[in-house]
Structure 1
Amino acid sequence: MTKNSMNPLLETLQAYPFERLRTLLAGVTPVDKEFIDFSIGEPRHPAPAIVSEAIMEHLHGLAEYPKVIGDLRLRQAIATWATRRFALPAGFLDPERHVIPANGSREALFSIAQAVLPPCQSPKPLVLLPNPFYQIYEGAALLAGAEPYYLNCDASGQPDFRAVEESVWTRTALLYINSPHNPTGATLSLETLGWLIRKARQYGFVLAADECYSELYPEGQAPAGILEAAAATGSLAQVLAFHSLSKRSSVPGARSGFVAGDADILRAFVRYRTYLGTATPPFIQAAAIAAWQDEQHVQHTRADYARKFAAAQDILGALLPVETPAGGFYLWPRVRDGETFVRTLYGAEHVRCLPGAYLARDAHGVHPGRDRVRIALVGSLEDCVEGLQRIRHFMEQHPISNFNIY
């Protein structure tokens, strides 16, 4: 196959953050210490026993072709969970019409753009996304032939949606929002979510709410969700919520999540996914049912992250000011030059983080990630403490002026 026979839109994709990180660290020989990886948001907590047991008990499902719409029992478990979690009116979320399983939120967040964006339109439709962002949003927009439009996050950690000009809204076909946000951890209020729903209905675009970090929050401070905001309007029109078990239940290898929302959009999305072949294996569906029906393991997970954030505050202190986020498991400290910080830290301490520049784009004269670094507290408490102590040692041994830290 020649290059000319390939989809030319593939050339518009930028290198993925971890590919860029490998290039940055190439040639660096780290000190002889055990490797600590803070770069990737992959939970390394033990998988809940109920999930593992459900998989083992349902391996006979290997002999079955799964259905794209999923087992009704799974959709019912999801609807029951979401109704309880977001205080939805009874019957508001119909498992027969408003819920479909997904192979993780990543797969669904990407494919929704291919399903809903109009092809060959001039000017290109806009796909709005927060900046910094999960790169799947950008790639989905580009491969659908749309134009990404970056909404820079301000000091709050979220974009100022009310500052978006009406001329932008009129071209918008899809808006990705992320709450809690990766990497800032900032959440969107119920009021803001309601305002965005009204905008989506006014201009006819799809509102895709990535809420895969929604269950990782300080205990007692659960963030609002788009389904809750939609319920206040009495309708799910133009609204889709994307959730995952990867973060909530520490099972990224299961690739299991769901999409819930507008029945008309989901009906068309199921048709698209039937051709794509994204049906979830029966044994994974069984594990998902068990996971969505249990909250005890999630409470333990939140407690584990709380201990790690407390350790970060205690260990790093004033040397590298960090804030405990409203959601998620990332630290997002300001270091001015993230690439220099990450490369030098890796060599000196064998600790790998991710430059914030790899999660953002230069937009509207601002690059909201260049002076940041993302630290994913996904390992065990012991590993995180060790890694944080090495970062502290690194800061003590290297003059702050080398990194122009604020």
Structure 2
Amino acid sequence: MELHNVIDRQNLQAFHPFTRLRSLLDNIPAGPAPRGASAPLALSIGEPKGQPPAFVAEEIAANAGEWSRYPPGRGSTVYLEACTAWLQRRYEIPAGIIDPQRHVLALPGTREGLFFATMATVPQTAETPDAPPPVVLIPNPFYHVYAGAAVAAGAEPVFLPTSSETGFLPDYQAVPEEILKRTALCILCSPSNPQGAAANRRQLADLLTLARKHDFVVAFDECYAEIYTRTPPAGALDVVDQLGGSLDNLLVFHSLSKRSNAAGLRCGFAAGNEKLINALNAIMLVGGAGVPLPVMAAGTRLWRDDTHVEAIRAFYQANFEIAQQVLGNRFGFSIPDGGFFLWLDVGDGEAAAKRLWQEAGIRVLPGAYMSVADNEGYNPGAKYIRIALVFDAEVTKAALGRIAEIL
């Protein structure tokens, strides 16, 4: 466990993993692309290559007259109702727990929502002048916005190690009491990015119980909730009933980016405790961007439709089956619970990324760029690379074959 401010607030861009990747590779000529690819392959970024349903464009066009209007702060009534109805279908939420007007907020994606939620939940002033700053608990490895938001909010990021030994999820019971007393926010991504590990109901309930004991907020980043390989992963709202039906200390974040191949739409939502939703809404009104009405019209229809999601999920499941055929048990490969990333143990992630770019025109992300080192200098991501399985089956098979040959 590492407690330190590793990021300069004035230089957040230098910490960004893709800035670091450009610095690593941009002066190295790309090798010949794998069979089936007409140009070098970017397997480094989790950007869907498939398209959302055609009705997205139809809905945006049909609502084009709304582009001249500012978006309503909390979101349109029909959009909030569609999000709530999806939550009711997807999770075991007792009737009456989620009120769309009180407990749901439209957001331009989970990344933006998580950033502003950090700003809204981290206290800006200490109780005493010499008090240490509030803490944000972050899994290590992690999605870069978690740490960037913590530092921007003036908090101290505490990185909780995740590894194969911990099931690639943090062990919250191991966090020292003095850290828990200072914690303002805990962020958990499940299924996780990059490893694809999903927390079970007991783990989710234990974390919420811990948060209520020490009065910190848990932001559950569930943007990969619909991209799973075997069974639907549990979500935080699955355990609300067993904990008394309260939404206290809880925010969940969902997005259409992965679920519906609509990363460019910038459309999602947060749900949770009314006081927390109001605080998030207030700070979004000051410094954030609402979701435009034509976008919400398309988003409403996407949240109402589950059929297209089944095809998208099957696409990624097929790619994982290809990975299993090509990689077998090499590089510590196993099919994850969810998401669409491979997290491969290649010994030295940076060296592997350079070789793959130079010899095969394949761009992957070194795991070290998603992690920070502990006090002994050990970086839990250093020996890994992250690969996004976002291309079609032919390209995926050829690319993984080249990766296996080279590494």
Band of TM-score, shorter chain? over 0.9
Instruction: Give the number of aligned pairs.
Output: 387
Counterpart amino acid of 1:298? V
Cα offset, 1:277, TM superposition? 4.1
* Whole-angstrom CA distance in 1 between matches of 2:397 and 2:260: 22
Map 1:158-173; keep pairs closer than 5 Å: 158-173=169-184
Cα offset, 1:57, TM superposition? 1.5
Structure 2: tracts of 5 or more residues without a match: 1-7, 34-38
3-state secondary structure, aligned to 1:332: strand
3-state secondary structure, aligned to 1:39: coil
* Whole-angstrom CA distance in 1 between matches of 2:330 and 2:163: 24
Native 8 Å contact 1:120 1:145 kept in 2: no
3-state secondary structure, aligned to 1:97: helix
Map 1:264-275; keep pairs closer than 5 Å: 264-275=275-286
Q: 1:280 aligns with which of 287, 291, 300?
A: 291
Native 8 Å contact 2:43 2:388 kept in 1: yes
Q: Does 1:132 align with 2:137?
A: no
Q: Which residue of 1 aligns with 2:62?
A: 57
Q: Which residue of 2 aligns with 1:3?
A: none
Q: Does 1:222 align with 2:232?
A: yes
Counterpart amino acid of 2:92? A
Q: Does 1:103 align with 2:108?
A: yes
- Over 3 Å counting, the alpha-carbon distance change for 1:277 and 1:345 in structure 2 is closer
Q: 2:210 aligns with which of 199, 212, 217?
A: 199
* Whole-angstrom CA distance in 2 between matches of 1:161 and 1:371: 24
Cα offset, 1:380, TM superposition? 2.0
Cα offset, 1:317, TM superposition? 2.5
* Whole-angstrom CA distance in 1 between matches of 2:149 and 2:61: 34
Q: 1:37 aligns with which of 27, 35, 42?
A: 42
**Larger deviation, residues 136-145 vs 30-39:** 30-39
Deviating runs (4+, > 3 A) in structure 1?
11-14, 318-321
**Larger deviation, residues 287-296 vs 33-42:** 33-42
Cα offset, 1:26, TM superposition? 2.6
- Over 3 Å counting, the alpha-carbon distance change for 1:319 and 1:169 in structure 2 is closer
Q: Which residue of 2 aligns with 1:94?
A: 99
Cα offset, 1:12, TM superposition? 6.3
The TM-score normalised by the length of structure 2 is 0.92
- Over 3 Å counting, the alpha-carbon distance change for 1:56 and 1:76 in structure 2 is same
Q: Which residue of 1 aligns with 2:396?
A: 384
Map 1:244-259; keep pairs closer than 5 Å: 244-259=255-270
- Over 3 Å counting, the alpha-carbon distance change for 1:50 and 1:117 in structure 2 is same
3-state secondary structure, aligned to 2:226: coil
Cα offset, 1:318, TM superposition? 4.5
Q: 2:405 aligns with which of 393, 396, 399?
A: 393
* Whole-angstrom CA distance in 1 between matches of 2:14 and 2:288: 26
Cα offset, 1:109, TM superposition? 0.4
Counterpart amino acid of 1:118? P
Native 8 Å contact 1:13 1:139 kept in 2: no
* Whole-angstrom CA distance in 2 between matches of 1:364 and 1:89: 45
**Larger deviation, residues 357-366 vs 256-265:** 357-366
Q: 1:308 aligns with which of 319, 326, 349?
A: 319
Identity rate of aligned residues, in percent? 40
| CA distances 1:303-346 after superposition (whole Å, capped 9, x unpaired) | 10011011111112255442111010000010111000010111
